[in-house]
Structure 1
């Protein structure tokens, strides 16, 4: 069967939402494609790549002129023995395409928008079914890499080979030599899969046989570091098979990149700078009206700009004529270079990765890995319960709507006293009073200093180390705010959450052994055990267990006053209860 890959540059997110799959069907060697330019417009495509066309040289001109109409097109029919394998068409009113290299399995083009905003290389690939013939493709791609020379480059099409055993629906016993050749080529040219959505398995052995379960991931969209750096919001979509045995593939490149405002995060190394306490002291003297908690919140907010600035400052910038600082900086730099050289040798020995070039010092490599992971974790589209797909800014709104409905349902609850006498064990009056007794500043400080310095920061971006280092300045105000509205922990005293992980590891130790008694382990999802508790039910239960009324008020205030935001692609979205 036949398929096509589409390279589209979306003008905005709304245009992307209307994208739908089209088809390019070859009924026979002499029949025309039953596709018009209207199909291209529905996809929002500016460049279209058709693979495995089965077009004879005598029919290529007539067919392509009919299909692409006013579009320009080219093919590799002159390099194919029997029929045309690759056809590339483009709208010359939107993009200019320069053909750099043509071979039997790949076409390298330089694509540039007419407005000069976007420019990158693209290799359109239709690999051979034969592993030995694919070795010619790998050599062509290595040659393309030398031509590209770190410029933005994307590769897309049918590679006719998988990378991993997990890319076979029925599994695979081992990584064979053909897969190893493919992976070695990927390492040599320094490319990786672009973050994509849609179908994971892009090829099916039989569309007409519903019982056929042989699926593989043969189609890919890959790119180099230069492409990720220039088009960080680019994404791939693998559409349903339709009448083909391959998934139509779409590459979307947003015309405008929305720069998100980064959330504040206190960096712990700032607390060790000499200016840190002076900066905190200066802002903390600001007069703020309101309750104790509001005063602390407002002053922490005022501090963020100055702490961000301090994060990027160094002593030499502040005192450029201080000779002693320059001597100290020079000695530190020498120590750093030596340590970095030692680290590079160790990491190269451990990693055994061919990407690392001498003198690269790992910096560019590891940053590229981080960029790649961040890009792959992006959520570019999502389906709702009605199977409607949403793109761009609408993705975050869909998550908000889902969780708002999930967490915000106020269902009916039977009074617990109707259930029967189930509260056999209750708190005594002495225990209840002990829980609401006056808490001292020393107890609050002790609890604060028990928190690990690298514990994940809260929504305000401040880590526990900030409060520890600035305790001499802000300690009393923070304690007053906590005592003004005290919350008590409901976790088991003396037990940390990671203790449960260690217990689980110890219990499951040896479960992979075939000898010994038979074993069984169940992983139970209990996330709904708290998220869906009815507030009225919770209050009734606390009261029946004998909790002090003041304690119940504290707990219910924490539960009912909480608002939620959802982090989608690094940006907080929504604010709901």
Structure 2
């Protein structure tokens, strides 16, 4: 761009730091002076930036910077190539309402040259694709006044000119003083500003101090800049002490006692004594005094009367010395950063813990308009503060709401709303308050008496995170009309508490209004960014609401006591309408308090394990232990990301299914708002929240207000494929995997994801899960609709049958443990796996964006620690991770298939070759089967090695086992040498249950009994009520017994032992006593029939196992276990007539349930192509083979035929047989000709599941027997 020189130019003169250093030290030579003439010194308030980031940023915006250096105490030195480069600042400016005639290079040059030296416009301005404003990069001369607008004369068609006003917006500019023409402070606080009335200097000194006195100059002083370090909050250039918010502050209490008091004058001796007494009684280290009304001539006298040994800062920015600060230099050090007529901002160093905080002492104007300036200034300060505790306190001269006023006051709505808006904008929250609620009284003794809460203390989130237990007290007003506010120090330390949204807050009448007030604010930027900012703004509001609710459990106790009192009074006067109404109101209050407590306890019980689980709640207290955990998982999940080109397409011939074009179209179809809403409402309200603390309960309750924006966030992701880092910030909660963990690796990291991320991945999972049944081989049974974990266990038991027998073929099995399977998956391999199965590129890009952009913090005792980016792995807790790991493990199956087919040396396990079965998998739990020979085991080793190299998933040999049959004992040493596995012995645990070669014994069930003992005795059973013990018994039964009962027919001895423990716990609160008031059978009756609704364990066990039998009866060929049973157990026989004397122990036990199940199975005859004529009980008489002897079957030449052989044209067509009576009975059955055969389980006219039918039958039988006995 061309540069048009304006008529007048002047230049900014920066202060020479070398001259200041020379005046202080007198040690600089001429050479060093020339070097420092071109050097600027900077210091950042708050968190120190990374050096390389700062270096790159400075060089990008200030090309003349030659070098950037730093010191260990926080100072940065910027070396320029020449002095003139320091006097110019490059800034982006926006030109609003620019006439279209000037949207050219020449026009922009002319307009921008009146502001500074134009360099170039941005790309959008150059292309004229955005006409709202023009954006130009200019170099400003700070010594000249920066205009807010310029007037441009634009020629008209008639030859005349028209004046056009172009508004100018500076995108970034630090505070600029128009008096001294320098950066770093505003004009109103400039030290060279001369007031109309001179005021004498005030010297700040400490008696008997060895160091030089601290001097605060008067405003008319022409001396050198004062020694009180000033600071621009935005840039952080300040004194020599760096801000330290290290963990040292967390290891102790606040260690500072401070007070703020509007004393209403300090000239009187009694007022001075009151302040002095307050300092001594409360052991204060710092005090802020407001409205002292002390003239400069009386300052020394007043200081001696209050505390002569303290340091003082006196603000004369306004009349009547509005704000004074005093502090004990032995405990704190004060650096005043900014002075305003309504506040003083200072930085406080707490010496004993070497921690810095920011204090803003406020004395607001009485007028509404004057306070608006205060609100704006506080907002500006809040935007500049990053990661440093900040406290704002004093006399605000306004209230937050009507509850802070007692007496007749004018209309406070406008003032209160502006105060609330300021608090919302700054992110401040009120500290918990003790003592008097109202802090000001107008001292009237008549009806005009007025009380208000004008004084308060507010803090930011960082303050609460550092000192969550800090409070302030409102004391008696003494000689003033305002109460002093005392900040309580030495509060016992607690770890940083995270924000958790309590679902009971949604029941409040103000919940929706609260969300609406925040949500109506417009946030500049993407919708995703706006939603995250609004959620953050709601946190302090919900914190305050939760504080107002108080202790919910204590509220229940109080409400119950009020009800008892009301009922006692009503007993004395039963006809009193007032007492009747009081009793009714107390009942409502108790009902509401109980409901709130129950909802709170229910939610906390669901995710209380996040605060440490049952085992690890306090071992993380030591900082070194926390650092060790953070370092371990940062190494495991973080580090350098692997970038490797992987192509798995060579495995596609062995893939069971690849995505078709129609399926790919369905995967990338447009997401609808209804799908988003459904995904939100499908997430349980009591699921553990993410790092932001919001559960789905909040989103559901606030959906009418926030639903539109949240939906747009989700739609934006699927349109752009981009996630903000705030959305994918994940909290890792560490859960112990063993009883007494001693190693970091013995904890399982569970990811607590944010709701927005959960909704996105839930939608992806809904599309993905529908295709897994086609892609995943039948040998994998995890997370596929229709497949059951019990099938894996049952099939494994069948394959291990006979391992203890010598005469069977030699066999072996590998129980493979993958080391940290979720945490070590390489992302490039996952992408290659998705391409292998034919997923569309857009769908893959969505998944990659979700899994490759996480940041992690770890949760210890409910507090987040550490922060690092992930570079590999999936995380448990992410809805999408199990399905992706399932696809990863399917690649291992394809690799093994390829090697087996190409390697002729592999031999299948006994009874596995027909189904080509060599693997059973449930996610990363693997069982590999083969013949016990070295060649076959080599195939497995080769496949696992290739898979580990590609995916990053390595086998853990210490936890992997080789199981050998007795016939393979001769090959034991050779096989173990090939794999380097441990040798396994039976019973070996698989999926939490024992793998058995012979039968299930009582000793094998001991782990189940121990778990029940631990679960019941772990609770204080004696303290639990009877009803709570019933609920605990039900939960223990569901959690432990059902899993065992669906895999084994439990021995009756074990069932009796379990019921004995439950019975003792129910009546006595422990498992050691054998005592019962009612028989256990009656306890297991339904509630409506007088029982407690506890399921009978024997009936439950048989019912759950009957589901497996039903899978065979209904010929469920989606189950690999059913397929195997038809090949190797049933052959061509029917399950109804096959002998129960052969096969494994589990198979024989299962067959003995046929007699109990058959009454509930009903056949409807259609074409007859699937029912066996002789073996299936399709007739109400039962199985025909039991009714017809061998002679008639052979005479009719129908020994092994299907039912369709005796049906023609929809009618029975039987050949001549001997038993005519049976044929007539059969002819009475109707045929649904043209339909299909079907079976079902029913009880009466109601169709039910087989398990439920069995349970209902067992309950009916047991109740019938008991009733009969009772009548006798």
The TM-score normalised by the length of structure 1 is 0.47
Of structures 1 and 2, the one with the larger relative CO (CA 8 A, separation 6+) is: 1
Q: Which has the larger radius of gyration?
A: 2
The TM-score normalised by the length of structure 2 is 0.23
